[in-house]
Chain A
C-alpha cells in the first residue's frame, strides 16, 4: 500500500477536509467559536470550486438546522456544524431531524454554555442534547475527527439506521490544535461512501407528507419505532467501524480499552481528555498500580453491552464527565448512565463521578493522579463515600485548583 498523505490540520480543518471529500449537496451553517474554522474552510472550498455544494449562509443556527432538514428530506446529503449557544438555539429542530429520520451530519466543537460567557471547552452543549435522538460520537484528536466525519455519513445514511449524527470534538483543545492527519484519497472516500440513496426522495409522482400531526393514537408507535431504530443502530455502527478499520488500517471501537489487563481500577473518559488521562495511567502503571482506562467513543446510542463487558471484573471505575448535570444524583450525565447500566450486574464495580474541565479549566496529569489515588482508596476500603466530586475547582468538596 502506498503511504498516505499526511496533512497538518487542526480538528476543525480535519472536519472540513473530510466533509469536502464526502461531497455534501447542501451545507447550511452559521459560524460560532470554536467551530468557525469548519464553516470558513467549507465556504472557501465551495467558492474555489473544489466542492460542488449549495452553501447556505443562514441567519441563525435554528435556520441552519431547518435548512438541513428541508434539504435532507428531499434526498440531499446535508451537513452543518455548530457549538454551544448555537446548538442550544437549534434545540427545537434537533428533535425534528431525528424524528424525521434524516441522515444529517453535524460537527460540534464542544464548548461551555453561558452564563458566565465562556467560549472554552466542556461538553455542556452536546450532553444537554443527549435526548434529542441523534447519534453522538466523541473524538479525541484531529485524526479521529477526520475518520469519524467520513464514517458518520455512512452510518447516518445506512438504511438500517437513517438517523442524524453529531460528530463531537473538544473546542480549542482539538478544534484549534494542529496535528498530523493521515488523509484518505478522494477515491478511497468515494469507495467507502457511495452517493446517498434516499428512501423517499422528492418525487412529484410519489408525493409524501413528512411532519404531520401525530395524534395520541399514533404517537407512541412512531416514537417506539424510532427508539428501536436508535438502539439497533449500534450493530450497524460496529459493522461500519470494522469495515473502515479493515479498509484503511485503523483500529477503532465504540469503547476503547487502554492498559486494562490486570487493572483493578479504571478511568472512564470521553473526548480529548483521554490523552492526558492515559499519561496518568502510564505513570501509575510504572509504580506498579493496577490502573487502566476506558475511552467511550459512542454516547448515543449508549453501548451498554460493550461497557458492561469492559467494566466487569474491575473494583472501581472513575467516570470523568466534562459538564455538570445540575441537581442530578450523579454530577454528570455520563456517570449517571454508567451507573444505571451497571445496576443489574452482579459484582459490579463501585462507580464514582468526576465532573471536570468545566469551561475550559485546564486538567493536567496531576489531576488524574489525584483521581486515581481516590479510586485506589475506594478499592481498598471497598466503599464509596461520595457519588461524585468536581475536579479542577477551588474550594471545599472539590479537587482543585
Chain B
C-alpha cells in the first residue's frame, strides 16, 4: 500500500467513479454464505433480499459476489430450500 509520500494530496480522490474498484467484501468477518447448487430452486429470493446486491444472477443459478458480500446472513435466513448455509471464513470457499 502507498506510503505517506505516495498517497494523493490530502487524501483527495482524483479519479471519478472509483467506488467500483473498492473491495468492500473485506469488511466481512467470521462467516460467509455458501450455496449448494443442487438444493437451489432458482427462486431468487436471495437475490431480492441481499442488501448489498452481492448475489449474482446467472443462467439458471445464483452466485455469491464475495468481493462485496458483508456476510450478514440474510440470504441464508430467507432461502426457503435451505440451499444457502453460513460457513466459517476459515473453511475456504
Contacts and interface: CB of A to CB of B under 8 A. Distances in A.
Nearest to B2: A221
A321 to B, nearest CB: 32
Contacts of B11: 212, 214, 218, 222
A200 B7 contact: no
Contacts of A210: 10, 12-13
Contact of B7 (A99, A100, A101, A221): A221
Interface stretch (A59-67, A223-231, A385-393): A223-231
A368 B7 CA distance: 50
Nearest to B14: A208
Do most interface residues of chain B lie in helix, strand or loop, or is the interface mixed? loop
A225 to B, nearest CB: 5
B16 A222 contact: no
Interface string B42-56: 000000000000000
Nearest to B17: A207
Interface residues of B, number: 14
Contacts of A306: none
A222 B3 CA distance: 9
Nearest to A223: B4
A261 interface: no
B7 A218 contact: yes
Contacts, number: 45
Most chain B Cβ neighbours within 10 Å, of A209, A218, A220, A226: A209
Given A207-B16, A208-B14, A217 B9 contact: no
Given A222-B7, A225-B7, A217 B1 contact: yes
B13 A209 contact: yes
5 contacts: A218-B7, A218-B11, A221-B4, A222-B10, A225-B10
Closest 8 CB pairs of A and B: A209-B13, A222-B11, A221-B4, A224-B4, A101-B10, A207-B16, A225-B4, A221-B7
Interface of B: 1-7, 9-14, 16
Interface of A: 99-101, 199-200, 206-210, 212, 214, 217-218, 220-222, 224-226, 228
Given A221-B3, A222-B10, A225-B5, 20 more contacts: A100-B10, A101-B9, A199-B9, A206-B14, A207-B16, A208-B14, A209-B12, A209-B16, A210-B10, A210-B13, A218-B7, A221-B4, A221-B6, A222-B4, A222-B7, A222-B11, A224-B4, A225-B4, A225-B10, A228-B4
